[in-house]
Structures are given as structure tokens and as C-alpha cells.
Structure 1
């Protein structure tokens, strides 16, 4: 597998100077509108990224976070299917290509890649940025209406990241129906209650189509979370750009991107025996782990020093990790 960290550095370098010539106020306004759309409740039948200003603001502000979230989801999936790598990849609603970068960072080699999006300015900028990554220089950037009626060629991997919230419920179902032509489908949404609800619906549709869940769930049965009581989400740490600090007014050099996801496959897969679903609580001589387990239950497990190497692993465990760790982790 490749190193997402080095790809993240390459992406940041490719994004450097992207906002040159764009007034900071215009960039900030574009970002605020995009945040409202991506974390809001209003679906749309028009492209969210409307022009170069929108696309530049999105790429500089959101691309590193989307890359980090999708990379984390793909890493969890790769752990469940060791030795496998996609030979073909379709990125649905891929915009400027963050998920495409994440796939190339997760698995070695090159592969035919098609990025589908309905915003031509996003595709144009994605093509421009991809020139900085040799694995993506031959990718196809294709304009398409995302939603019902979308045609997706058979592929090893289809990614659908941060796009379902832009669509009506029927359009989401139509998109996912088209995605079932793939061997593996990875869906990533914002880590909000609404984002989780969309992921949960996608999960159910993919299972009904014959897919098995490889991550994050340790099973393909119903989610044990009582509807309305909580939601399943994780976090990926992202270095803050100057635009992040300008828009949010934060002083920290990083932020945590909250995301929900599901990775479903027709391949033989070995899901994690359990998944850490909250930030581990480290106390004197013990670690408290909140786990989603293979018997369809949520449980808190206490790991103490008397557990030896398992205790050391628990102290290193992170929110979203498999438990116990996969061999080699």
C-alpha cells in the first residue's frame, strides 16, 4: 500500500497558490455557502460547485479533509481485504478528485480511473491538479448528471463521497443502484446525524443488492444504534490551511474531520472483530474502549495492564480502529 501522508503532502503542494488572485472575501463567502450545503438538509438538482471561485474555494478548503476521510475509510477496507487492489476505479460526484487521490494513495500502481461530476469547472480543476500526481495523469474527467439515470460502467471500485446530501432520496437510490455494477462500493458522508442516516440507507441498499459489509461494521446485520439516540461516525485529523483559519477563526494548526462511511463488497472479506466507535479513554492503568462488536452489540471493554500486549495496543488504539488490531497494525 502507498502512504497517504506523502500523497497529502503532494495534494497540499498542488493546492498551494490556488487562491492567488481570488479576493479573500469572495473565497470565504464561497466556503461558507458550501459548508451550509454539505452539512445542511436541502438537496438540489443543480451542481453545488458553480464556477471557478466556488471550485477554488472548495479545493483549497475541503479537498484535504475529504482526502483524509476517504483515505481512512479505504484503509479500513484494505485491512479487511488484504492483498487486493482495484484494477479500475470510478469516482462518482468526484468533483476535483479528492477520493481519486485517496485511492491512488491507498493502493500501489496505476489503473483506469473515471471521475464523474456534473460541474465542468470542478472537473477542469481536478484535471489540472491531477497533473501533479503521475498515477492520475491519464484519468478521465467526465461530465455527467449525478443521480437517477446515471450509468456506471462495471468497475472494481466505485467511490461516492460527500455527494448523497446534494441529492433527493430517489436520486440517491438511483445512484446506488447504478453503483452496484461494481465489485466494491465505498460511500463517505459528513459525520453528522443526517450524514449517518444517508450512509445507513446506502448500507441497507447495498446489502439488499448482495454486498457484504467490510468496514466499519464487524457484521452485515442491522446497526445496533437505536435510531435517534446516537450516530456512527469517525474522525480524521487534517492540517489547517490559511483559508481554514480565516473562515473558522481558529488558532489550532489542525482540525478533525468528522465523517460516516460504509465499505461494501462482493469480494471475500474479513471484517474487524470489533470497531472502536468512540475516542478511547485512557486512565491510570486501564483503557476504556467503546466497541461495535460482531454479535450486533455496542459494548464498553476495559483493558488493563494485566492484559499485557493487549493493554499496550489499547493505549495506541484510535477512534475508528479495528479491535483487536489486525496482524501487523
Structure 2
């Protein structure tokens, strides 16, 4: 009898389930509480926040599913903009336990050379251990390197940088984005869906465009973002199954939570961005759906879809935050 092959997301959940065996729940929760403060704040570049296996195990069990889902969502939008293309090689900068490497393998089938760079050896060690459960990642290289201005990247098809820029100084952030632009054909950067995270993504987006990249997602264009600085921020949401550790740390009984993230995906190869993208959760009212859109102009606008639009109305009701919206309908200022 053949053993069923699990999808990467299921394989990852299974691999993470045993990480906390032997680690007292209270200690795991305390480690996560301390580490969350660093994740949302600013960490000096000479102080890796994951210090030992207990830190890494707790943080991986808590954060890795959310990082995986956010990066997978960004990669899915990117893949839609470059149909028929798949990376032949992948470098994950600041990848820690390798959530982005798992997300890449969930987006494009097959095996490819994968290199995960991080400055925290315990994170790399645990990432290597978890990756043994996934055939496409068993040959991955896990390399300890300081993420900053001195980092050198080998040529690769795809570079991912997820939840890393917030740990760097402004100078190191710029150097990292420039290094990724020099080394890769495609770059995907994901940050927390906060005003500060969005600001870092916009800085990176500007540098990638200046380096000759075309924005594939989420923006329908490579022009300046139409959001006036300080007035709003562009972010999206990915649904994440909550483990018992999630419920213990955050309280509540829901089986899921929504991970808010900002991102940019850009490439040197030809891209076909969507005509417009839903940039807020759609508002469903009696007989109508309100969609806040970013379009190719570039501009932000509201589209109102009513029952008189026929099949388009059903499509609007099924449309979610972050989805493409190709249709032209009545707009409100």
C-alpha cells in the first residue's frame, strides 16, 4: 500500500506539532510573548532574537504557520502575474526555520536548489530538522550569515525576504534589497501588515523599480503608490489555523486567526499584473457589494456592484480582500 503524499501545508503542520514535546507550556508561552515584542518592533542587527532551541521551537510553532500562509499568499499573486514561469533556484534571506522555502514549494511543484540564510544557528538547525519531512527541501542548504550590508548573494532565480526588514537598520535594509536585486530575477518581500511594515515595503519597492524591476503584485502598476504617506497603508490578510499554543498565548477559542501582512513581488522578466486589486475587505450590503480598488492609473477608487450587474454581482460577493478585480463597474468618488 502506498503512503499518501501530504501537501506542503499539511506536512509542515505535522512537523511543527511535535516541536514542543517536553517543553513546559508556560515556558513556551513566555518565550513567544518575549519574541512577539521583537517581531513587531526593531531589533539591533547584532542581536539575533532566537537564542536557543527552546526559543526557536516555541517561535516556530507559533509564528511559522502565519509566515508560511502570508508568503504563500504573496507568491500566489506573483505566480498569477508570471504564468508559465517557475523558479529554478531559490534563496531565502533571513529565512530562520524556512517558512518561505515551504511556501515556495507549495506554490511551484518540483525540486530546486534552495539556500536559507540566517544569522541564528539554532533557527537554521531546527529548520533543517523540520525540512527532513519534505522531499523537496531535504537537499536545501542552511547557511549561517549575518544579514546586513556585508551580505553577498549568489545568482538565483528567486529571492524571498520575509519578516526581516524590521530587524535591520535603514542602511542594512537598503543594502539587502540592492543585493537581492543584483542577484535575482524575481524578489518577493513580506513584512507585517502595519503602517511601519508597509513603509518598509514601499521603500523596498522603490529600490527594486529603480533597479529595473517590474512590480508583479500586489500593485497593478509600477508607478508611485497612490496612498499619500501617513494617511493609510496597504496590507492584506491570510487565514491561519490556530494551534493550542496560539490559543494559550492569545486567549480565545477560535480555530483560526487572520495574519495581516504587506508585500511586494517584482521581477526582471515580463509580468502581467492584474487590472485592479481589492485593497480592503469587501463590504456586502443588501443588493450591493462595495469594493475598494487600486487600479492601473494608478489610483484608489470605490466600485459598487449591484444586482443589476448580473453575474458580476455574484462574482463580487465571492471576491475577497487581496483578490484581482478585472471588471469596470460604476464608481463612487
* Shorter-normalised TM range: over 0.9
Could you tell me which residue of structure 1 aligns to residue 255 of structure 2?
253
> Does the 8 Å CA contact 2:43/2:49 hold for their aligned counterparts?
no
SS of 1:18's partner is coil
Unmatched runs of 5 consecutive residues or more in structure 2: 1-5, 328-333
Of 299, 314, 317, 1:315 maps to 317
Taking the TM superposition and a 5 Å limit, the aligned residue runs for 1:161-200 are 161-180=162-181, 181-200=183-202
2:304 & 2:32 partners in 1: Cα distance? 42
> Does the 8 Å CA contact 2:42/2:168 hold for their aligned counterparts?
no
Q: CA deviation at 1:300?
A: 0.5
1:8 & 1:89 partners in 2: Cα distance? 18
TM-score calculated relative to the size of structure 1: 0.96
The count of aligned residue pairs is 321
Q: CA deviation at 1:43?
A: 4.0
2:35 & 2:292 partners in 1: Cα distance? 33
Q: Deviations over 1:77-102 (max 9, x none)?
A: 00000110000000000000000000
1:170 & 1:89 partners in 2: Cα distance? 24
1:201 & 1:32 partners in 2: Cα distance? 29
Unmatched runs of 5 consecutive residues or more in structure 1: none
Could you tell me which residue of structure 2 aligns to residue 286 of structure 1?
288
> Does the 8 Å CA contact 1:280/1:287 hold for their aligned counterparts?
yes
> Does the 8 Å CA contact 1:92/1:116 hold for their aligned counterparts?
yes
Taking the TM superposition and a 5 Å limit, the aligned residue runs for 1:31-180 are 31-180=32-181
Q: CA deviation at 1:45?
A: 2.2
Of 208, 211, 214, 2:213 maps to 211
Could you tell me which residue of structure 2 aligns to residue 13 of structure 1?
14
Q: CA deviation at 1:142?
A: 0.6
2:238 & 2:143 partners in 1: Cα distance? 29
> Does the 8 Å CA contact 1:176/1:205 hold for their aligned counterparts?
yes
Inter-CA distance 312–43: structure 2 relative to 1 (3 Å threshold): farther
Q: Deviations over 1:119-163 (max 9, x none)?
A: 111001000100111110100001111111101111110000001
Q: Deviations over 1:44-100 (max 9, x none)?
A: 422111111110011100000000000000000000001100000000000000000
TM-score calculated relative to the size of structure 2: 0.94
Aligned-CA RMSD value: 1.1
> Does the 8 Å CA contact 1:239/1:254 hold for their aligned counterparts?
yes
Which consecutive aligned stretches of 4+ in structure 1 deviate over 2 angstroms post-superposition?
41-45
Q: Which has the larger displacement, 304-313 or 260-269?
A: 304-313
